[in-house]
Structure 1
Amino acid sequence: MGSSTAEQLRESFVDEQIARLEERLRREQDVPPQLLHGWVEDARGRFAGASVTSFLPILVERLVRARLKAGAVADAAAWAKRLLENELPRRWQHSQGVAGRAAEIARLLPRDEGQVLVVSAWLHDIGYAAEVADTGFHQLDGARYLARHGVPRRVCALVAHHAGAAAVAELNGLSGELAEFEDERGVVRDALWYCDMTTSPDGAHMSFDERMAELRARRGPDDPVVRALDRNGDERAAAVRRTEEFLRRHGR
């Protein structure tokens, strides 16, 4: 057997082993398949040109599992950064502010609930990105994009309904489409709305009233988001008030 043939057989064996590794990790982990595949390929690329490849699957697994341990929050932040930082820098600043406030509130929640809140906060506005936008209704577009990429349904739903999306959907004739995602009621949902509606476009903290005034001035009276305030302004305010009461109960 020639050396080139032997090399091809070794490469084929390594390819098979890594494919099995990826399939196993996909079954074990609640991570979007495309994201997991990218991590596997990135890990493998670090050993490109290595003279010994027999241990490559083990090394790739170690790197990927280390990345998994970094947590869903870091992945969500990186994903949002990729989609928003260069294309929509102000939206990226806002998202960072929302996620920062969400991280503060998350400390008061059970660990899993806090993680859902922070992940949703990082991803809540990705529907504005060109790669994601479809209908022009950013909450729905973001939620559908995340669902296609295997993100947990609860996070998708929180993104879909944040900031009173139902009223905007009604004005745009998209209520049926938004109904693909359940609108949960509770502390996490209220907190996400609160974080979004008390953070300026530049990521600074501001009061709810200031944020609503800013939104009206920036978008103008004919924008569906502004028109929706006449329908759901009270619902938004109630979510903010409940979150403020929750924070007061915890001494914040």
Structure 2
Amino acid sequence: MSRRYDSHTTIFSPQGRLFQVEYAMEAISKAGSAVALLASDGVLLAAEKRITSKLLDIRGLAEKMYKIDDHVAVAVAGITADANILVNYARLAAQRYRLAYQEPIPIEQLLHKICDLKQGYTQFGGLRPFGVSFLVVGWDEHFGFQLYRSEPSGNYGGWKAAAIGNNSQNADSVLKSDYKIGGTDMKMAKTLAVKVLAKMLDTTNPSADKLEFSSIILEKGKPVYKVFNKEDIKTLLKDSGMEEKKSAS
């Protein structure tokens, strides 16, 4: 009986479910993994990079992470095309706020705009929900460093550490046991992020080619967004005791 509700975004099933939203969540659960951690001196993003072909030119390509403004960035899991639409919308909203008020947009206010758009796509006919989840990280003068997770339904919440994508439940179990609330600095966050990604990827020797890292920290009182290069990631893996194995030529 539930099948006739599958094609209707706005119609609830007799059990009170919106199947299109649940299908969007299913798409996210099969996407590449991403994790974010809030530290006392910054906020860290880490993600799996799924390279589909050795012929792909990946120079400078950030597959899962996007800078929205100087003080805010996101990691995504789900359909990349959907993510691009929301990222462009968020960038435009951030710049409009900066133009109007001559200051950076507060993180939660930006997230609220994104989630309003997401929710609208679950409410009107002829549309489908965005098949993407966001980990939004940033800093503002009101609440300092912040981390939020948003869902296709438009729901969002603040987190100390969060994971999205494939094997996110395994990541949550590691974060619950190893993340120290109020006692995690950026160095500890990097080590824990490597451990969590290794768990999500089910490997003891993660490769620098298949990982992405970025962070937002304060320098001279201003937020700075940094994307780790390949050498930075190799050093991070070595410091975490998970050096990648060299393949035989």
Q: What TM-score comes out, normalization by structure 1 length?
A: 0.30
Structure whose alpha-carbon radius of gyration is higher: 1
Task: State the structure with bigger RCO (CA 8 A, min sep 6), 1 or 2.
Answer: 2
Q: What TM-score comes out, normalization by structure 2 length?
A: 0.30
Q: Which is richer in strand?
A: 2
Q: Which is richer in helix?
A: 1
